[in-house]
């Protein structure tokens, strides 16, 4: 296997046919974000390693085992972002965005990098849609972001998805919970995996998140965080549940969810599907009231979620969601011989400047081979440029779906062709009205034309 023709393990190429699906999903995600008032924030692919060590947490799997960390030529330790929250909060602090009206609500659509064992729904380069609401402490915000995630799933018609929520408390109640966990797990010291033994010292709550079956089995009998919540956290959780209930959002409380990143406090949640195998968590998030302060800012409450784009796509494919068909070439211009290629290229220019997708021969093919190619492209219309067409400036546009032909003037090709496109789309329309009609439907609504 040549390294020159094989991608690194755990990465994916998105080929035409698939990329349109991703773009369709991304567009919908952007629309949903806008509906809830979240604005896009873009951060670099790499950050100082310290940001993730501090932000994600030293005892997490992500920091301990999964980061792509390297020294750059300036001898700085750099890490490819394993998640989007730390960078978002860093940018929020760096640009003084805490001076803007709060909450600041951001979304991102980015690649993330984790050195993991690749399998279905688990890649080393993957993509997340994430939202973060910074400066919002009310349980209403927890409910709002959960509602946004649910809105996305509803919009895509996702069925059979469970929303599981939990509260993991704040540093105050976490202390007594961690102590109870330490007591409990200490009695299983000889059975825990090696990583969990370090966790037992540093952060016993992380043991609950261990993927080893033995540790998982032991964790089943562990103390439950909900029994240790302080009054404030308990009230916060009760209110989140109340908001969700009045908003008509079904949920179950799953006291075993602790999430894999250290910054979470109070509410945590996951949207889980059974339809896509072992990697069933499509979206995970919660409140992280400690992170802004941890990264050196004034303590500000915040919450957000990350949604895996690849897992969302697997989910849509598992339920056979229909994606819109790819855009078709609207007009393929076929010069009957090489001498007419100049005119074909000129006409393509005029068509494209009017927003009509047009193609012509760029491979020096015979007319027959060109028509075969146009068919493979599923061009909607074709036009042959031969001697007659060149001399009379009149040509026939052929509808490849119906076989119907209509005459056009090469001197007014864009206008004439747009009318043909329009009537193919809307049926015959009176010429007088055509003047008034804006073509928003054609070309997927990307342009409007006055015909
Ligand atoms: P998991 O338990 O599956 O490892 P996680 O708790 O590490 O997930 P988060 O850090 O919360 O995941 O990331 C949010 C979302 O990003 C996940 O719910 C999932 O949809 C997606 N995700 C996380 N890691 C990967 C990965 N390696 N490949 C593809 N998607 C991923
Ligand atoms: Mg993980």
Question: Which residue CA neighbors atom 8 of ligand 1 most closely?
Answer: 281
Compute the average pLDDT of residues 323-342.
95
Q: Which of 308, 309, 315 to mutate to test the pocket of ligand 1 (most atoms within 8 A of CB)?
A: 308
Question: Which residue CA neighbors atom 22 of ligand 1 most closely?
Answer: 308
pLDDT band per the 50, 70, 90 thresholds, residue 427? low
Kindly report which listed range (137-141, 157-161, 407-411, 424-428) carries the lowest average pLDDT score.
424-428
Task: Give me the pLDDT at residue 303, please.
Answer: 97
On the CB side of 254, CA atoms within 13 Å amount to 17
Each domain of the chain, given as residue ranges in start order, spans: 19-170+230-318, 331-440
Question: Which residue CA neighbors atom 14 of ligand 1 most closely?
Answer: 306
Compute the average pLDDT of residues 176-205.
92
Return the CATH number of the domain spanning residue range 19-170+230-318: 3.30.930.10
CA of 404 to the centre of ligand 2 (A): 56
Q: Which of 11, 311, 312 to mutate to test the pocket of ligand 1 (most atoms within 8 A of CB)?
A: 311
Q: What is the number of the ligand 1 atom nearest to the C-alpha of 270? A: 18
Task: Reply yes or no on whether the pLDDT at 211 is more than 90.
Answer: no
CA distance 261 to 20: 32
Task: Give me the pLDDT at residue 434, please.
Answer: 53
Question: Which residue CA neighbors atom 16 of ligand 1 most closely?
Answer: 308
Task: Give me the pLDDT at residue 440, please.
Answer: 46
Task: Give me the pLDDT at residue 437, please.
Answer: 54
pLDDT band per the 50, 70, 90 thresholds, residue 441? very low
Tens digits of per-residue pLDDT, 40-60? 999 999 999 999 999 999 888
Strand order, beta sheet including 405-409: 358-360, 331-335, 381-385, 394-399, 405-409
Tens digits of per-residue pLDDT, 7-31? 999 999 999 999 999 999 999 999 9
Task: Give me the pLDDT at residue 159, please.
Answer: 86
Compute the average pLDDT of residues 329-358.
96
Compute the average pLDDT of residues 135-159.
97
Tens digits of per-residue pLDDT, 363-397? 999 999 999 999 999 999 999 999 999 999 999 99
> Mean pLDDT for the chain?
92
Q: For domain 331-440, say whether CATH 3.40.50.800 is its number.
A: yes
Residues flanking ligand 1, CB < 6 Å: 83, 114, 116, 121-123, 126, 128, 260-261, 279, 281-284, 306, 308, 310-311
Q: Which ligand is nearest to the CA of 83?
A: 1
pLDDT band per the 50, 70, 90 thresholds, residue 399? very high
């Amino acid at each position: 296997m040549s390294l020159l023709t094989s991608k690194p393990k755990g990465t994916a190429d998105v080929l035409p046919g698939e990329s349109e699906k991703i773009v369709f999903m991304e567009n919908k995600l952007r629309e949903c974000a806008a509906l809830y008032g979240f604005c896009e924030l873009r951060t670099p692919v790499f950050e100082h390693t310290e940001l993730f060590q501090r932000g994600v947490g030293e005892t997490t799997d992500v920091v301990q085992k999964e980061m792509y960390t390297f020294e750059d030529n300036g001898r700085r330790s750099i890490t490819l972002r394993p998640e989007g929250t730390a960078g978002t909060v860093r940018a929020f602090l760096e640009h003084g965005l805490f001076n803007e009206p709060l909450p600041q609500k951001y979304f991102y659509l980015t690649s993330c990098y984790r050195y993991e064992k690749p399998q279905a729904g688990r890649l080393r380069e993957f993509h997340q849609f994430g939202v973060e609401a910074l400066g919002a402490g009310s349980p209403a915000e927890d409910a709002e972001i959960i509602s946004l995630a649910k809105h996305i799933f509803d919009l895509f018609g996702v069925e059979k998805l469970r929303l599981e929520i939990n509260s993991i408390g704040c540093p105050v109640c976490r202390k007594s919970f961690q102590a109870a966990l330490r007591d409990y797990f200490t009695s299983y010291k000889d059975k825990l995996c090696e990583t969990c033994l370090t966790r037992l010292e540093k952060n016993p709550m992380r043991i609950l998140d261990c993927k080893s079956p033995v540790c998982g089995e032991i964790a089943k009998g562990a103390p439950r965080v909900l029994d240790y919540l302080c009054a404030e956290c308990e009230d916060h959780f009760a209110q989140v549940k109340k908001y969700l209930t009045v908003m008509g959002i079904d949920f179950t409380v799953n006291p075993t969810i602790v999430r894999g990143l250290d910054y979470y406090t109070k509410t945590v949640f996951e949207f889980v599907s059974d339809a896509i195998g072992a990697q069933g968590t499509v979206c995970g998030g919660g409140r992280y009231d400690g992170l802004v302060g941890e990264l050196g800012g004034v303590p500000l409450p915040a919450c957000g979620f990350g949604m895996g784009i690849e897992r969302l796509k697997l989910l849509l494919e598992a339920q056979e969601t229909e994606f819109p068909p790819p855009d078709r070439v609207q007009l393929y211009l076929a010069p009957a011989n090489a001498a007419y290629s100049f005119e074909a290229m000129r006409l393509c220019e005029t068509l494209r400047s009017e927003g009509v997708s047009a193609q012509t021969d760029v491979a020096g093919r015979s007319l027959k081979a060109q028509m075969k190619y146009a068919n493979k492209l599923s061009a909607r219309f074709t036009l042959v440029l031969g001697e007659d067409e060149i001399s009379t400036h009149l040509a026939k546009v052929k509808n490849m779906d119906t076989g119907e032909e209509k005459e056009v003037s090469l001197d007014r090709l864009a206008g004439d062709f747009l009318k043909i496109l329009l009537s193919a789309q809307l049926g015959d329309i009176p010429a007088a009205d055509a003047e008034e009609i804006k073509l928003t439907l054609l070309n997927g609504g990307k342009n409007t034309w006055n015909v």
